[in-house]
Amino acid sequence: MDTSRLNIQLASGHHKGQAIITIQVPRNAEAMRALKGISQARWSQTLRCWYVPNTAIHFQEVLDCMQPLGYVDYRGLKIEKEVAVTAAANREQGKETAEVKTAIEVFGRYMRSSRYSESTVKTYTEALRVFLMYFSGRTISSITNQDLIDFNNDYILKKSLSQAYQNQIINGVKLYFNKVQKTHLQPQLIVRPRRERTLPNVLSKQEIKMLLAAHTNLKHRAMLSLIYACGLRCGELLSLKPEYVDSRRNILIIKQGKGKKDRIAPLSAKTIALLREYYSAYRPEKYLFEGQFMGQAYDQRSLQQVLKQALTKAGIQKPVTLHWLRHSYATHLLEAGTNLRYIQEILGHSSPKTTQIYTHVSTEGLQHVQSPFDTL
């Protein structure tokens, strides 16, 4: 078969609660070899196709591996604008030079040795790659402060890329030039976008009650309940170990949460009773919540699916995510009269400004405000 005539279709989709890029390609030996060379490429028996996570890095990797086989059609792929723009720009600017490749590798090693999370390493190295490849053909040492300003105006702003993406680029470039390259470059000359003020999504107590009661499976009910009962992030829940539950002091110890910080959260008698019931039934070995195999932490995508099933059973139509449970916990604490300082400590916020956002979604005070319309 002439692989140069292959028609490869990419499209956006969701699988097990994860945004993915589906890959539809005719089956032959050359195509299978290419697919198996793509990191995190998986076959879905349900979707009957191969897929990868929907990220800029994976999109670029799929193009690099599949384009030599034929025509790659990604018109049906709904992705963030910056993902498509980044991949297109990388193709237009050609392959990385040896200097750029070395710079990215050195930057990655620096970040890992400084104990940055792997997701931050990937985000910042990708940001640096985009920036350096914009100046392909030039040495890194020749890049000036004016180039930084021009890149911001002629690349980020001209292409109407998101504020979040602009901040990622700035953060990555700033860290590289300040800590690794140690040049006179001043990334602070790029004016950062004004932060959008978005309110956290919150469920009512009645909706939370329906959601947590939806599952008959004890493990599923315990996981969702603990996220809400202690205001946990998804990763924090999955990293918990049985010994972090201190029933004598009525606290939960959260190790190395966001920002590599330890903290504690109060545990109610009701929560402790639920965890004791769960522990007696499942007897986890290493992690408090383990998946199919003992000693391995429960899969994040599977947990998202657990939430999705609970929403369906509870008849809740809102696009709820696991983080909504954390937001709801903080808001309900505030409405019950808990001091903001305590809420900040429980949630692990570095700044009280982050916690104050919940004052804008609490309805406790607003419900006592009488509209002048009612007095007419």
* 194 belongs to the catalytic site: no
* 323 belongs to the catalytic site: yes
Catalytic residue among 326, 327, 329, 332: 326
* 360 belongs to the catalytic site: no
Q: Select from 7, 29, 17, 65 the least CA-distant residue to 323.
A: 17
DSSP H or E stretch at residue 44: strand 42-44
Q: What Å distances lie between residue 195 and 150, 155, 162, 164, 191, CA to CA?
A: 22, 20, 11, 9, 12
Q: Select from 177, 105, 125 the least CA-distant residue to 148.
A: 177
* 233 belongs to the catalytic site: yes
Catalytic residue among 233, 263, 327, 332: 233
DSSP state letters, 124-169: HHHHHHHHHHHTTTS-GGG--HHHHHHHIIIIIITTT--HHHHHHH
User: Which residues, other chains included, contact 190 with Cβ-Cβ below 8 Å and sequence gap of 6+?
Assistant: 148, 149, 152, 170
**b/e sequence 31-42, b meaning 16+ C-beta within 10 Å:** beebbeebeebe
Distance (Å, whole) CA 71 – CA 63: 10
Owner of token pair 């402060």? 145
User: Which residues, other chains included, contact 201 with Cβ-Cβ below 8 Å and sequence gap of 6+?
Assistant: 318, 320, 321, 324, 327
Alpha carbon 373 to its chain centroid, in Å, reads 44
**Phi and psi torsions of 258, nearest 5°:** -60, 135
Q: Select from 118, 127, 115 the least CA-distant residue to 176.
A: 127
* 349 belongs to the catalytic site: yes
Tell me the sheet residues that pair with 43.
50
Distance (Å, whole) CA 18 – CA 16: 6
Q: What Å distances lie between residue 209 and 46, 261, 321, 361, CA to CA?
A: 32, 30, 16, 19
Distance (Å, whole) CA 108 – CA 21: 26
Q: Sign of dihedral through CA atoms 43, 60, 109, 149?
A: negative
Tell me the sheet residues that pair with 10.
23
* 326 belongs to the catalytic site: yes
Catalytic residue among 16, 258, 308, 313: 258
Which residues have a catalytic role annotated?
A: 233, 258, 323, 326, 349, 358
